Structure 1
């Protein structure tokens, strides 16, 4: 994994602050201010390309929902997604984004007060909220997706294979390689959309209808949700730890001279003392087993005694990820 600072978050803060000041939409200005405040609070993690730590061709184990709780109240997961290796473009992967932030926070019912947020305030259960903030290469600009996803800690795992069979959207995700054949049979947690830029959401729902617009937002948020899940699954392993690295002193001296806010320290994940490099992803053409989680299990000892063995991250010989999953433009 890249152990160098990417410093995406300070640039995104500047861009979203300018958007907040210039947007003609009052509700979106509130949402942008809220998102920017979360970016300022966030502890930063740097992940490898595409935010991938685990082989996503293998279904994730069903785990207690509380394992989804972020390691800090707010985290910003920064990762590159080189556009040069983007897969074929289709309806759901129309806008390459080579720099990405998965912004996640422990839900505190602190959303702005106003009509767009009234249905959620006081009604969402304890859970994590994941938002997407990306560098859109075509526009040379940082922009957020217009909605975030709330995933409850006590949510039920649902079978989505029937949904994939009946939904054109999910069939497209399988055809595009964003959901592997193995993942089709796996269960998934259900999330609730919450607004970030309400006017953009309303426009999309008006143009496409409720079901299609909801599917667009799911596609837009899928990569950041996957990156967040990879991180919390890895951190739950007994031989993985988060290690803080100091902010680059040279860059901070430059920023101090220009009167800009200083860069913050960032975190990387270490696997038994070695910086994690990421697992092989869907489409990897190298042979050998990939990085994976060895599930927690009961071990039977002598004389009828048993003990619990925590899950562990296992290094494989598989290659690095060679796919990029891009968000849709204009959502």
Structure 2
């Protein structure tokens, strides 16, 4: 996300992903028809999703500061949301978490949907039989310099509502979770005292999933690969929702470019979409309007890192940093009230 002269440039990841996924689905139609049909359903979800622009690596909350309050605030603002974020960590090549290869993926979409609203793969919502309160499905869609094409992950993670943050316990964890956590600990991405919350892996591309099972020699290892791959996008969900549900945070709209979209449509390309960005309510009020105006204008300051704090019966957002290198205002530190999660 580029920020210059008080403007946020739209990423347009979803539009480009839709174009690539259409090509992939067409190629798979004969050899892997089930996966092709799922891709077409995911394309429709990407088109209808409400799209948010997030900072690099969704740098909103310190990783070690994720607490139960963040988990409790995990409620999507819309039934289907696409969180877009650049992912530049300065990594030059792939890394391995245990036996699971992690290629460099510099552009990310976390496609998140309410479990009761959509079912891109037939039978997927049977997972709800074990979670009566529902939850959120999170699916990674990514682009990397190695293949230079948008790709859907082998699967994603279902995060049930009411999850409890607890210590990692490899002795009692389910097989796939145990394999994934052991791999992350061995690679230094977690430790024995790390906190975790409940998430269940789900496959999304049937034929690719069966191939992965054959490659790894077990369904548990294929599911562990899915959990490792979906970790970043699950954290995007948790961080973004915890900030969106702050009382002092609102959204500003960036309209789709009308003239450019007419040219794209005329050439058979996917039109670009409108976007939402997060801003502090006080900053929005100070500058008037929503900062959109159809010209890609945006809030002058963009939320970056902060953390939540529980104070008696309310949650507060502590030390949100509003970042803009060209602003003379610099960084602002305050405590703000946060709307507590509703009790169902």
Shorter-chain TM-score: which interval? Answer: 0.7 to 0.9
Cα deviation for residue 140 of structure 1 reads: 1.2
> Deviation digits for residues 98-154 of structure 1, max 9, x if unmatched?
11100001112642575x648547665411110010013211111100112111113
SS at match of 1:19: helix
What does residue 181 of structure 2 align with?
A: 170
Q: Deviations over 1:204-258 (max 9, x none)?
A: 1222213322211111111111111110011122222222221234532432432
Judge conservation of contact 1:164–1:171 (CA < 8 Å) in 2: no
**Kept in 2: contact 1:65–1:152 (CA 8 A):** no
Partner of 1:148: 156
The secondary structure found in structure 2 opposite 1:128 is: strand
Out of 289, 307, 316, the position equivalent to 1:292 is: 307
Instruction: Provide the C-alpha distance between the structure 1 equivalents of 2:260 and 2:322, rounded to a whole number of angstroms.
Output: 36
How far apart are the structure 1 equivalents of 2:188 and 2:172? 13
Please, which runs of 5 or more residues in structure 2 have no aligned partner? Answer: 3-7, 284-299, 326-344
- Partners in 2 of 1:167 and 1:121 — Cα distance? 22
* Partners of 1:139 and 1:87 in 2: CA distance: 13
How far apart are the structure 2 equivalents of 1:61 and 1:12?
Answer: 33
Q: What TM-score, normalized by structure 2, do the two folds share?
A: 0.74
Aligned to 2:113: 105
Per the alignment, residue 311 of structure 1 pairs with 316
Q: Deviations over 1:73-108 (max 9, x none)?
A: 111111111264458722445311111100001112
Q: CA RMSD in A?
A: 3.1
Provide the rounded CA distance (Å) in 1 between the counterparts of 2:36 and 2:84. Answer: 24
- Mapped contact 1:43–1:266 kept (Cα < 8 A): yes
1:1-331 aligned at under 5 Å gives the runs 2=2, 3-23=8-28, 24-58=31-65, 60-63=66-69, 67-82=73-88, 84-85=90-91, 89-91=95-97, 92-108=100-116, 110-111=118-119, 114=122, 117=124, 119-120=126-127, 125=132, 126-162=134-170, 167=178, 169-174=180-185, 176-179=187-190, 185-208=193-216, 209-271=218-280, 272-273=282-283, 275-279=301-305, 291-293=306-308, 295-298=309-312, 308-315=313-320
| Alignment partner, residue 324 of structure 1 | none
User: Cα offset for 1:169?
Assistant: 4.1
Distance verdict in 2 for CA 1:270–1:127, change over 3 Å: same
Runs of 4+ residues deviating >6 angstroms? none
* Higher relative contact order (CA closer than 8 Å, sequence separation 6+): 1
- Alignment length (residue pairs): 293
Shift in CA distance, 69/47, structure 1 to aligned 2, threshold 3 Å: same
Structure 1, unaligned stretches of length 5 or more? 280-290, 299-307, 321-331
Aligned to 2:337: none
